[in-house]
Amino acid sequence: MVSNKTKIKWMTKLYFYSRKRLRKLILHERKVDTKCHKCNKWDSLVELEYGPSELFETSYGYGVTCANCKETTYFNCDLAPVPLRCDPNGTPIQ
């Protein structure tokens, strides 16, 4: 007979291993994964637990509204070869 403490330990290990593996698979498929600056969670894992984040285009790049904390993060794609986090007006944030 296996105790509940042992079951919890193994299920916790399986849960975190599955999350890590799923994030790698999503990253391999989409080639990009953003991280929310407020709740500090990866978009692929937020999608798994809370549903898809809202992605919308702006005149200078795009914005992402996190499904977990509902905070909107803007990215400017015009200033550099990589998207830069910016304010709603398109000015980069350090």
Spans of all domains in the chain: 4-86
- Return the closest-CA partner of residue 39 out of 20, 66, 64: 66
User: Do residues 49 and 20 lie in contact, with contact meaning Cβ atoms separated by under 8 Å?
Assistant: no
Confidence at residue 14, expressed as pLDDT on a 0 to 100 scale: 96
SS3 category, 15: helix
Residues 8-43: tens digit of each pLDDT? 999 999 999 998 898 888 888 888 788 888 888 888
Name the band, by pLDDT with cuts 50, 70 and 90, for residue 84. confident
**Residue type at position 75:** F
